[in-house]
Amino acid sequence: MTTTTAFEVLPAVSSFLDKPRHKLLIGGQWAEAASGRTFETVDPSDGRVLGKVAEGDAEDVDRAVAAARRAFQGPWSRLSPSERAKLIYKLADLLEKRSEEFAQLETLDNGKSIRESTRGDLPLAVDLLRYFSGWATKIHGETLPVSVPYYPGAKFLHYTVREPVGVVGAIIPWNFPLLMAVERLAPALACGNTVVLKPAEQTPLTALRLGELVLEAGIPEGVVNVVPGYGPTAGAALARHMDVDKLTFTGSTEVGREVVKASAGNLKRVSLELGGKSPNIVFADADLDAAAKGMFMGIFYNQGQCCSAGARIFVEKSKFEPLVAALAEKAKTVRQGPGLDPKTQMGPLISKEQLERVLGYVEAGKREGARLLCGGERAPEPGLKNGYFIKPAVFSEVSPDMKIAQEEIFGPVATVIPFESEEDLIAKANGTIYGLVAGVWTKDIKRAFRMAQALKAGTVWINCYHFVDAAAPWGGVKQSGYGREKGPYALEQYTQLKSVWVDLN
């Protein structure tokens, strides 16, 4: 072990961070940005610069898309599904072997606790690659019995083929940088596509390190290209690119609307995983200990920076006071610090900008008359003053129409809302523009299923929260987006269907 931060990191992490500059991965080569520009990525726990990164822009996106096109038409499409599967599996093995290194790098760049990186992000990323490598050999069409009523007695063989879409552009956010990258790469590659990945400007490091593993795994040059850069430049260039066949975007609903507009030029297919303001609902008959834990983890996991955060906590009136008090008590005891400190339970927010945004929402909540039970201010500890730390906040007496109960805060701010009856609740729970996930805590099995039916969300968790898996589809309804990542349904996003007729007459 060597030391490059206040905490020990693996030699592989130090030597990666020691690079004078992290370059773009285009066509299997590490390249400077055409403009020669770089940007800095920082450790959000203390604002220290972690590295300089080549700043991709439209010209670099052009080069990356051209490389992806060449790889798609060349080596990648010549490989059999089983050969593709082996390469993806190999990438999973390499990632698994270097899990500790990737967890440290992710924690440094994003701020999340090392426990979350190690126990959550890394095993899931490895599993996603393995799951989709298995699918590579199982993507198939069907034979369909056609009748052709205007040609009585005619005989045809009709079959469908699932073909790769081509070049996939993937724009991902900073909250789960590696996981999001892999969640896009794994199905795209399994289906036979090539990819241009644009990581978020706040967290480019694990995607770039993953690019090194892609080459080490023997995945042909140009199959995976990584072009870090800013959203309005590199991101927008990818979204509007005329030779990108499919765009997968994860980020804010606002930017989601922009990329849909930008995609219109060549009518590329788009899938969107956008914001949320998800209800996490506790009925009085629930296992209250489990529900209390679920309320806490639902909103505070990853510093609340989850699109699926259980940000609107609804509690049945008879249990409202004790549960909200318990949530605030627990929030007050959360140990904050740099993610690499094994004692840290909650790291910093991603950036100064995000910190100010979240503080602004706390002020809005107070102005609107919600009662702030705890937190909501910058962490006062002297050791944390250079980082973007905010004390986890709990607002009680929130009414569903308040700004803090309607807009996605993307930070550790819980809004707790009482309800009296199921009918009253359902209207409130569904009463936002979003529909990503919902949680329900109850021991009444009929009620659980009634709620699963009534809640407008892409995922409903009953007596659990924040569970995800490579096999379970993920995506939203309403303004939380469209399309599904993960599970067999992801294959639909990354393939297109061809219909073939053979005249047998």
Contacts to ligand ADP by CB under 6 A: 171-173, 198, 200-201, 230-232, 235-236, 239, 251-252, 255, 258-259
Toward ligand ADP, which CB reaches closer, 204 or 298?
A: 204
Place of tokens 């040059």: 221
For ligand ADP, the closer CB: 275 or 337: 275
Amino acid at 468: V
Closest CA to 186 of 495, 466, 459, 470: 470
For the record, the structure tokens of 178 come out as: 């590696």
Out of 307, 316, 374, 485, pick the active-site residue: 307
Looking at the DSSP bridge assignments, the partners of residue 158 are 501
Q: Where are the beta strands (DSSP E) in 293-436?
A: 312-316, 371-374, 393-396, 413-419
Closest distance to ligand ADP from the beta carbon of 341 (Å): 25
- To ligand ADP, the closest distance from the beta carbon of 236 in angstroms equals 4
Shortest separation between residue 351's beta carbon and ligand ADP, angstroms: 9
Residue spans of alpha helices (H) in 242-392? 253-262, 288-300, 317-332, 352-367
Nearer to ligand ADP, 88 or 259 (CB): 259
CB of 232 to ligand ADP, least distance (A): 5
Q: How far is CA 256 from CA 265, 304, 361, in A?
A: 16, 20, 22
Q: Count of residues for the chain?
A: 505
Vertex 287: Cα angle to 281 and 292 (nearest 5): 60
Q: What angle do CA 436, 441, 444 make, to 5 degrees?
A: 125
Q: CB–CB of 381/251 below 8 Å?
A: no
Candidate list 106, 116, 273, 485, residue with the active-site label:
273
Taking the complex as a whole, the smallest distance from the CB of residue 179 to ligand ADP amounts, in Å, to 14
61/85 with CB nearer ligand ADP: 61
- Annotation marks residue 306 as catalytic: no
Alpha carbon of residue 55 to chain centroid: 22
Distances in Å between the Cα of 154 and the Cα atoms of 157, 217, 501 are 10, 50, 12
Q: What share of the chain is helix, strand, coil (3-state, %, to 5)?
A: 40, 20, 35
Q: Is the Cβ of residue 45 or residue 253 nearer to ligand ADP in the bound state?
A: 253
Shortest distance, CB of residue 235 to ligand ADP, whole angstroms?
Answer: 2
Q: Which residue is nearest to ligand ADP (CB)?
A: 231
Examine the residue annotation and report whether 307 is marked as an active-site residue of this protein.
yes
Which of 101, 201 has the CB closer to ligand ADP? 201
Do residues 83 and 89 touch, judged by C-beta distance below 8 A?
A: no
Q: Would you name the residues annotated as active-site residues? A: 273, 307
